[in-house]
Amino acid sequence: MEKSKLSDPFENARLEKGFGEMNDQNDPVTMLLRLKDVRKGAHNWKAFKSGAEPGRIVVPSEVNIRDVRQIPFEVDPPEHKSYRDLVEPWFKRPLEEAYKQKLTGQINEIVDEMLDKESVEVVSDFSLRLQSRALTLLLNTPYEEAETWIGWGTHVFRSEGEALDGDKANILYDYIDDQIDKAITTPGDDLYSKLVTSEVNGKKLTKEEVKGVMILTFAGGRDTVINAVTNSIAYFAEHPESLQRIKNEPEITGKAVEELIRYFAPLTHMGRVVTKDTQVCEHAVKADSRISLCWASANRDASVFENPNEIVLDRKLNPHVSFGFGTHNCLGATHARQIMKILLETLANKVKSIDILDFEENIEDLDQFERKVGYENIHVKFNSY
Amino acid sequence: MAKITFITTDNESITLEGTSGSVMQLAVDNDIPGIDGDCGGVCSCATCHVHVKPEDMEKTGAASEIENDMLELDDNVNEYSRLCCQLEISDALDGVVLQVAERD
């Protein structure tokens, strides 16, 4: 039962000090580790801002590979609200019946395809493809577009396993530029077209702003969804009884989704820039330095979660922060939840068991901490009923 | 069977009947504006915030510590605030009136 485990490397630091320290490209980060502090930090956008130099609130920092401001992500209130209000209804479309049906069709198809194979590499053969195809629904673009995105591989911003790579990021940025130009020339029903024809505060969105929303949509929902899906497969491989339980008690599926997302915390942390000298956990942080809100640590805070290191499939009170908290909470959460819900239902109905054949873990280096976020690759066999 | 009245932020009054499940689910199933219940009722998203009519607080009871921790960071919190995913429908809730809270 160890292969699917994601341990909690933050426990000692969380209990002893409440914060961790990480050097990232000579722009250090003070990591907040306790749930209450993380929530308060996320809530307090005046002291801890997102509207810094583009790329700086991401850890590792993307300032050297990105000039475009991601929207609404890197904009603070009050301007944030107009942008968020503009995109919010679009990102709630996953609740619509037609959307659910299409997504169910996609997930049924890819699970069926896996069932008869001797070996499946989950990250690239399953999760990346599932994520890319589902993204065509979120963007309302043709299904075939997914093939282009799948072709980029799992690391859009990185060379294989290496640090941030500007050339690779440019592939995505150039692609988005092309798509925006197409939408300007011949608007359709996709997200690009919606954005290029939209106004915020009486002014048409600029190309740069449209690009900012699109980069956020591509980047925010890629590794995160891939990790959530891959980790779920690994978990169910070691816990066939959980798959059986979801089959027998489909009413717990929603709770199971939240619990898996709590435990996996697909995004380890997100940064903010300190606006004035202040303190976190009685530790001084200077203006223009960085803090991060460590969702992964907060989700294992034993002062809030009973048995935090166990997956309790029907956990009833589960105030996790895997989708962030407050103003900037995850725009793609509705889409992500719908993917996970349909994935669990589909697996429970079609898959009897999963065998893990071999795997290589994906370990994040957080300086003082090392955290497993998922797998570089994991080969499994899906067994049908 | 409990009759539960929601007053929307536009001051529309909608009364629904329920027998089981959470008040949030009842509201979502009936498209009460302002009640989203994004997390499905596990007290993680705070998108089901209501203000209980003061005289009905006896029926609903007060929020738990975990619920209060969520609510205290909501700009529209007051002493009658509850996350209605944490209100289980039963006869005891019959007649309660819930004002849907404004969003930050």
| Whether B66 and A317 lie within 8 Å, measured CB to CB | yes
| Chain B residue closest in CA terms to A332 | B38
| Whether A319 and B43 lie within 8 Å, measured CB to CB | yes
What are the Cα distances from residue B26, in Å, to A355, B19, B32?
Answer: 40, 10, 9
Q: Is A271 a member of any domain?
A: yes
Chain A residues whose CB is inside 8 A of the B68 CB are none
Mean pLDDT of the residues in chain B: 96
Query: Tokens 């942008």 sit at which residue?
Result: A83
For residue A4, give how far its alpha carbon lies from the nearest alpha carbon of chain B (Å).
Answer: 24
Judge if ipTM > 0.90.
yes
Residue A158 has a pLDDT of 59
In order, the DSSP letters of A82-130 are HHHHHHHHHHTGGGSHHHHHHHHHHHHHHHHHHHT-S-EEIIIIIIHHH
Q: How many whole angstroms separate alpha carbon A50 and alpha carbon A84?
A: 14
Q: Is A6 a member of any domain?
A: no
Any idea what the Cα angle at residue A85 is, between residues A82 and A87, rounded to 5°?
A: 110
| Whether A39 and B43 lie within 8 Å, measured CB to CB | no
| Whether A319 and B104 lie within 8 Å, measured CB to CB | no
Chain B residues whose CB is inside 8 A of the A254 CB are 40-42
Q: How many whole angstroms separate alpha carbon A267 and alpha carbon A295?
A: 7
Question: What average pLDDT score do residues A124-134 get?
Answer: 98
What are the Cα distances from residue A321, in Å, to A12, A269, A296, B80?
Answer: 20, 10, 8, 25
Interacting residues of A174 by C-beta distance below 8 A, sequence separation 6+: none
Residue A153 has a pLDDT of 86
Buried b (16+ CB within 10 A) or exposed e, A102-111: bbbebbeebb
Question: What average pLDDT score do residues A81-109 get?
Answer: 98
Residue A116 has a pLDDT of 79
Chain B residues whose CB is inside 8 A of the A255 CB are 40-42
Q: Is A5 a member of any domain?
A: no
Q: Is A207 a member of any domain?
A: yes
Q: Is A1 a member of any domain?
A: no
For A155-193, the pLDDT digits (tens) are: 766 544 455 666 778 889 999 999 999 999 999 999 999
Chain A residues whose CB is inside 8 A of the B48 CB are none
The three-class DSSP label of residue A215 is helix
Structural domains of chain A, count: 1
Q: Is A107 a member of any domain?
A: yes
**Tell me, what CATH number does A33's domain have?**
1.10.630.10
| Whether A317 and B42 lie within 8 Å, measured CB to CB | yes
Q: Is A156 a member of any domain?
A: yes
| Chain A residue closest in CA terms to B38 | A334
What are the Cα distances from residue A187, in Å, to A193, A194, A210, B64?
Answer: 5, 8, 14, 50
And the tokens for A203?
A: 């002014």
For B13-41, the pLDDT digits (tens) are: 999 999 999 999 999 999 999 999 999 99
Residue A65 has a pLDDT of 87
For A373-384, the pLDDT digits (tens) are: 999 999 999 999
Residue A160 has a pLDDT of 46
Nearest Cα residue to A227 out of A331, A131, A100: A131
pLDDT at position A306 over 80: yes
| Whether B69 and A318 lie within 8 Å, measured CB to CB | no
Residue A25 has a pLDDT of 92
Task: Pick from B29, B31, B42 the residue to mutate for testing the A interface (most A CBs within 10 Å).
Answer: B42
Nearest Cα residue to A227 out of A100, A377, A112: A377
A252: domain range? 11-384
Q: How many whole angstroms separate alpha carbon B38 and alpha carbon A341?
A: 13
For residue A175, give how far its alpha carbon lies from the nearest alpha carbon of chain B (Å).
Answer: 32
Q: How many whole angstroms separate alpha carbon B96 and alpha carbon B57?
A: 9
For A328-348, the pLDDT digits (tens) are: 999 999 999 999 999 999 999
Characterize the bridge pairing of strands A270-274 and A290-293.
antiparallel
Mean pLDDT of the residues in chain A: 95
| Whether A326 and B73 lie within 8 Å, measured CB to CB | yes
Chain A residues whose CB is inside 8 A of the B43 CB are 317-319
Chain-centroid distance of CA A231 in Å reads 13
A290 strand-pairing partners: A29, A273
| Whether A316 and B42 lie within 8 Å, measured CB to CB | yes
Residue A187 has a pLDDT of 95
Of the candidates A39, A255, A304, the beta carbon closest to that of B40 is on: A255
For the four alpha carbons of A9, A13, A19 and A20, in that order, the dihedral sign comes to negative
Q: Is A4 a member of any domain?
A: no
pLDDT at position A278 over 80: yes
For residue A192, give how far its alpha carbon lies from the nearest alpha carbon of chain B (Å).
Answer: 25
